[in-house]
Amino acid sequence: MTDFRGADLLQQYIEKCTNWGRWGEDDQLGTLNFIGPEQVRAAAGLVEHGLTVSVSLPFNQSGPQTGSLRANPRNMMTATGADHLAGAQDILPAGFGPAKGYGRSDDILIVPNQAGTQWDSLSHIFWKGKMYNGRSAGLVSSAGAARNGIENYAGKLVMRGVFLDVAKHLGVPALEPGYAISADELEATAEAQGVEIRRGDALLIRTGFLEARRSAWGDYAGGASPGVSLHTAPWVHEKEIAAIASDTWGVEVRPNEIDCFQPFHVVALVHMGLAIGEIFDFAALAAACAEHDKYEFLFAAPVLPITGASGSPVGGIAVL
C-alpha cells in the first residue's frame, strides 16, 4: 500500500489513542465502556425542565443522499387507507377473514443504515485489514459483521449529552466547508456555554452545516464539509469521551487534513472504539439550549439492534 503525507502522524495518533485490549480481548463496546452506572445516574439527574427534543432528521426521500453512494430512506406502503376505502381490504390478509369495518396500513422501510441520522458500529471502518480491538476485517462478510456489529450497542446510548454549539460560539450560522474544529475551540465553546466536559460524555457538536444545506443538500453527503480536526483525537482520548455526534455527513472535516481518507475515523473509530454519530439535526436543540441556557442533558439515542450491521438509524432525544 502506498505511503502518504501524514502517515507518520497518523501512526503516532493511533499508538497514542488505541484502546485495543483496554477492556479485554472480547470487548465490542469501545468507549461506551466509559459510561457506567454512575454516569447514567448523573445523566438522569440533569433533567430539569422535562423537555424532550428530537435530534433526528426525518427518514424519507428528501434526505441528503444523492444515490451515488447511498440512497435516501424509502418507505413503501403494503396496505393503505385508500385500499380500505376502495374495498380492497374487505377480506383481511393471512387468513384473518372478513374485515367487517376493520382496516389497516402496513409498510416496508428500505434504509441504508448510514443514510440519515445514525450511529456507526465498530465494524464500519477498517484500517489495513483490521477493525476495532484488532479483529480481522474478514469477520465482516456478506453475512454481516460476526464481531463489532451495531447489536453490541443494544441497551446503551443513554448518557450525559453535552451540546457544543460551535457555530453559535463563533458567531456564524454555519461553519464553512473545510473548516477544521480544534480541541481548543471545543473547550472554548464548552466554557462559554458554562458546561464541563466529563468522562463518558456524548459530545453533540453543531456546525450548522445541516441547517445551511437542508433545503438544497448539494454535496452535503461526501463533499467538502466543516468538522472536527484529526488533531482533536488525542484530546478526545484523554477526556475519555464516549461518543461524538455531529450535524455533518462524516463528523470530521473534509477535505481531509492529511493524505488519508477520513483519518479521524481511523484513529477514533478503529483504534479508540469511539461511538460516532452522523447527520444529526441540531436545529431544535440549539434553540432549546439557548432558551434555557442549559447545554447538558440526558441524551437517549438507542440503536436498533440490527445483527451484524455497520450502523443503525436512530431516533435521538435530548431531555433537558
Interface positions, 110-149, toward a second copy (CB under 8 A): 110-114, 123-129, 131, 136-146
Of 39-47, 181-189, 190-198, 234-242, which part binds a second copy (CB under 8 A)?
39-47
Question: Cell numbers 450491521 label which residue?
Answer: 309
Closer Cβ to a second copy, 189 or 220, answer by number: 220
Q: How far is the CB of 232 from a second copy (least distance, A)?
A: 19
Q: How far is the CB of 58 from a second copy (least distance, A)?
A: 5
d(CA 250, CA 178): 12
Q: How far is the CB of 132 from a second copy (least distance, A)?
A: 12
Q: Should residue 30 be labelled a site residue for a second copy when binding is judged by CB under 8 A?
A: no
Q: How far is the CB of 219 from a second copy (least distance, A)?
A: 10
Site string for a second copy, 234-263 (x = CB under 8 A): -------------------------xxxx-
d(CA 9, CA 13): 6
Q: Which amino acid makes up residue 225? A: S
Phi and psi dihedrals of 123, rounded to 5? -105, 10
Q: Should residue 152 be labelled a site residue for a second copy when binding is judged by CB under 8 A?
A: no
Phi and psi dihedrals of 270, rounded to 5? -70, -45
Q: Should residue 24 be labelled a site residue for a second copy when binding is judged by CB under 8 A?
A: no
Which H or E run contains 203? strand 202-206
**Cβ neighbourhood burial of 1 (10 Å; 0-12, 13-18, 19+):** exposed
Q: Should residue 86 be labelled a site residue for a second copy when binding is judged by CB under 8 A?
A: yes
Q: Are strands 275-278 and 118-120 parallel, antiparallel or unpaired?
A: antiparallel
Among 151, 165, 185, 278, which residue interacts with a second copy (rule: CB under 8 A)?
151
**Cβ neighbourhood burial of 172 (10 Å; 0-12, 13-18, 19+):** middle
Question: Cell numbers 444515490 label which residue?
Answer: 67
Among 9, 16, 79, 214, which residue interacts with a second copy (rule: CB under 8 A)?
79
Are 167 and 175 contacting, i.e. CB atoms less than 8 angstroms apart? yes
Q: Should residue 192 be labelled a site residue for a second copy when binding is judged by CB under 8 A?
A: no
User: Total residues at the site for a second copy (CB under 8 A)?
Assistant: 123
Give me 105's grid cell.
396500513
Largest Cα span, the chain: 72
Q: Should residue 104 be labelled a site residue for a second copy when binding is judged by CB under 8 A?
A: yes
Q: How far is the CB of 191 from a second copy (least distance, A)?
A: 26
Residue 63 per-residue DSSP state: S
Q: Should residue 199 be labelled a site residue for a second copy when binding is judged by CB under 8 A?
A: no
Are 308 and 144 contacting, i.e. CB atoms less than 8 angstroms apart? yes
d(CA 26, CA 99): 52
Closer Cβ to a second copy, 226 or 313, answer by number: 313
Q: Should residue 182 be labelled a site residue for a second copy when binding is judged by CB under 8 A?
A: no
- In 3-state terms, what secondary structure has residue 228? strand
Site string for a second copy, 260-299 (x = CB under 8 A): xxx---x-----------------x-------------x-
Are 103 and 261 contacting, i.e. CB atoms less than 8 angstroms apart? no
Among 15, 22, 58, 238, which residue interacts with a second copy (rule: CB under 8 A)?
58
Q: Should residue 9 be labelled a site residue for a second copy when binding is judged by CB under 8 A?
A: no
Residue 287 per-residue DSSP state: H
Among 25, 76, 215, 293, which residue interacts with a second copy (rule: CB under 8 A)?
76
Q: Should residue 161 be labelled a site residue for a second copy when binding is judged by CB under 8 A?
A: no
Closer Cβ to a second copy, 69 or 192, answer by number: 69
